[in-house]
Amino acid sequence: MIPDDITENLDNKTREIAKVCKSLNISQWEIIAEQSYGYELDIEAGKITMASGGGAGGFGIRIINDGKYAYTYVNSLSGIEKALLEAKKICDVSPSIDGFELPSNSDATEVKGMYDKSILSVEPEFLLSQGDDLISHVGSLDSEAKVTGGGIGVGVTASQILSSEGIDQAGLKSSHGLGVQVSIDKDEKITSSWQSYSQSGLIDFIPKEIDEAVHWARVTRNVVEVDKGAVDGKVVMNGGAFTPLFSMVVPSAIAGEKYYNKESLWSGKIGTRVISEELTIMDNPHLEGGKASAGRDAEGVPTNVRSLVSNGILEQVNWSVRDSAKAVQQGLVESASTTGSAQRGGYQSVPYTGNTNMFITSKRGNNSTEELLSKMGDGYIVNSVMGAHTANPTSGDFSVTTSSILKVEEGEVVGALKQAGVSGNMAKALSGIVEFGGDVRPRGSYSSGSVYVSDVLLHEGVRINPA
């Protein structure tokens, strides 16, 4: 899948850029290099419609001089001197941030499980066979169910960070993911569900998410009428519904610059209770094979496992190098420094403050699905939501819709709603009684990193408005 000399080749090119930086008398420089290779295929209307493969990558360079900075990126070394000269001009006229310097090198933890060598031997034929297996498996579960959309992707990324301050680290990261849109079109009614799964290692099995996609396409066909209008009540949110709302609000709430700019719903509350005393929120970048695990952050700073909210008490917030220096200069905070929380969206992106693998746990322990429904009694199960990106990170308010929702009476599912609005406040919901299921899974985050969460029973803070 990748050239045998990819890491050596990337290293050589990165050091060539470093030489150009030195020749131009750039005070501080940081080079991020990435090169990815992979295969992917698309599934539409129950058939594999396209398989493709290839590679992409480039180099991002951040330069700093007397607190002034500029950023540029290139796809090859051709024209690198011109790009750096332009960046230097921008740097010279940029506003200065006192104390803003690139971090010095220090030892970092090696995180295991991020690279599966067996992925290198994957050929396009493997993905074609896996696609056929997914389609066949869905049909075996329900003859009326079809895979109407989705795909499979597998890849390896080589990356390196090299800086004027002695940071020099390279590595390989692999990934394999798949997703399916399962639909049932019968009796002039179409119901569907999307589920996905990914990991750093090779997927050589049918993930249970595929069965769940069929399940939700099936159970949402039995539509029941609801006489009541909007109702505040207990709601079980599956991980796929809870995570996008949680990740729009909470990671922003613990980003240092937003916290001290009073753009966080928890601004001014460090050391006080912000959610239920039974809840704890941790960020673990050292999780073996974690979706966002890393021994260093996007600026090369060593990462560490951090307790953000302990027993409901907000303990600390996250910082990147630039955000912390900027906040001090603006007088937002007396002192601040990086917490190893810088993230970036690739070599084309400048670093920003984010999180890695975020966990939310409860002293109450975990419950089976049946136990969650029994504790809920009357309420609703929400499997997915639309419009989570509109959630307000400053207030915690959200208002979304769903067509994947079940009505529960006395702990038993009685049918589905055709569509419903789901609104509420995340801070209020997390401040009341919160019960978790037992199956914790990694979910992609709207902010950065991943959220590891199970199904969640929220006793308050959520309103259901049947369409």
Q: Nearest CA to 402 among 424, 429, 423, 379?
A: 423
**What radius of gyration, in Å, describes the C-alpha atoms of the chain?**
24
pLDDT computed for residue 106 by the predictor:
95
pLDDT computed for residue 51 by the predictor:
83
Rounded CA gap, 343 and 247, in Å? 15
pLDDT computed for residue 465 by the predictor:
95
Which pTM does this prediction carry? 0.93
- Contact (Cβ atoms closer than 8 angstroms) between residue 65 and residue 24: no
- Contact (Cβ atoms closer than 8 angstroms) between residue 343 and residue 252: no
pLDDT computed for residue 445 by the predictor:
78
Question: How far lies 73's CA from each of 53, 61, 93, 350, in Å?
Answer: 24, 6, 19, 10
Quick one: angle between helices 124-141 and 208-219, nearest 10? 40
pLDDT computed for residue 259 by the predictor:
96
The CA-based dihedral angle spanning residues 210, 214, 216, 217, taken in that order and rounded to the nearest 10 degrees: 140
The token duo for 390 is 């509109």
Q: What is the CATH number of domain 6-219?
A: 3.30.2290.10
The token duo for 439 is 């199956």
List, in order, residues 6 or more apart from 354 with CB less than 8 Å away.
Answer: 251, 255, 318, 341, 342, 343, 447, 448, 449
Q: What is the mean pLDDT of each run of 10 residues along the chain (467 residues)?
A: 86 97 96 96 92 91 96 95 96 94 96 94 92 96 96 96 97 95 93 95 96 96 87 93 94 95 95 97 96 96 97 97 96 96 94 95 91 95 95 95 95 94 96 93 83 94 93
Rounded CA gap, 100 and 113, in Å? 34
**DSSP 8-state class, residue 301:** P
Which residues pair with residue 178 across a beta bridge?
A: 152, 197
Domain boundaries, the chain: 6-219, 231-466
